[in-house]
Amino acid sequence: MSVRRDTRSLSQPCWLIDYSDENRLRHRIRVHCTRSVANRKYLKILEKVENRKLGITTKYDQITLTQLTKKYITTSEIDGKSPLTVKRIQNATNHLMRLIGPNMPVLSINALDIEEFKRIRLTENTPRNKKLSKSSLNVELRHLKALFNWAVKFNLLRSSPIKNVKFIKTESKPVRFLSPDELQSLFGAINESGDRDAFDLFTFYLQLGARRSEILPPKCTWNHIDFDRKTIILIGKRQKRRTMPLNDALLGILQLRINDPYPLNLTPNQVTGIILKYFKKAGIKNASAHTLRKTCGSLLIQAGIGVYKVSKYLGHCSVTVTEKHYIDLLKSEYDDLSVLIGENYTGNGHSHQKFDKNLEGFGINGQPINGPNH
């Protein structure tokens, strides 16, 4: 146990506090402050460790799962997480409280409790009298992991009980996107009905690759649209912004809606209803609103746009996410490029003209894709 200077910090004083807890686990805390303040922090830590050894608890040691959940949800709302995400957090924590008790002290929850939660959730019936899918359970586990990691970050927990709990293995499914024939059938059904809202919605989602909420109020208002620069600002996950180009088709749609309160004045539920309605009319199965976003990404990749540009266009947090979603398409693209290289490299030089010609219109059925502007 000690307090020592962190020599890596050059801009301001920094101290490393090393100590062992009541379970003889070693910890290190890095603090930016004066030496005297670091010493006081060190003494407080030792006092807490000794108190826990004697069975003396603090107010945080008695915090219940219900109290922790309320604090976390309040913070999530303040941080700008979407209502749907907050609803999923509440759903996951409600099930955990139902199974282990709402008044369970957070410090008493361990990995065995989480494993029991996994077992029960997989075997019990949902309100629709069906079994919970493995993917849905993994979603709940991800939210619970975020909850306990948040508690650790703010010193409400020493370690997360879900830290060593493994997620359920699921079969990776190929990305679902709409084929050219399905797109033709879809817009045929829309044109036949003359539904303006439906046409505008599908056009926006397919060309911008936006998430459902990103082009709807309150995230998207007229203040986010610049007609002079022909751009729109989309606010994605964690309030991250990205500026997207607007082509003539999208600008035309917005000009016709200029007197509406919002560019697309619809609720998320209305949007889902419209999308599923026309999927059904067009005979499209196993698709959702998010399929349109995946379709945009797949069209860009099949048109030969680099994965890095596609990742930025879709607002993914990293290229790894894009590669994971579109791995099958990327593998097909790499295979095709490999064949082209093999055909055009003879050992004496490259046939650049033929190679470039083969790459033209690299997309569905060899035809150029008229996707979003870049």
The pLDDT tens digits along the chain (374 residues) read 688 888 777 767 888 889 888 778 888 888 887 888 888 888 888 887 887 776 555 555 678 899 999 999 999 988 878 788 899 999 999 999 999 888 888 888 999 999 999 999 999 988 888 899 999 999 999 999 999 999 988 878 878 999 889 999 888 777 788 999 999 999 999 999 999 999 999 999 999 999 999 999 999 999 999 999 999 999 988 788 999 999 999 999 999 999 999 999 999 899 999 999 999 999 999 999 999 999 999 888 888 888 899 999 999 988 888 888 887 676 655 455 444 444 444 344 443 343 343 334 333 333 333 333 33
Architecture of domain 180-335: Orthogonal Bundle (1.10)
Q: Specify the pTM.
A: 0.64
Residues in Cβ contact with 242 at an 8 Å cutoff, skipping those fewer than 6 apart: 233, 234, 236, 312, 315
Strands 225-226 and 241-245: unpaired
**Could you count the other beta carbons within 10 Å of the beta carbon of residue 59?**
6
- Report the distance separating Cα 129 and Cα 126, nearest Å: 5
- CA within 13 Å, CB half, 109: 35
Q: Which CATH number fits domain 62-153: 1.10.150, 1.10.238, 2.60.420, 2.70.98?
A: 1.10.150
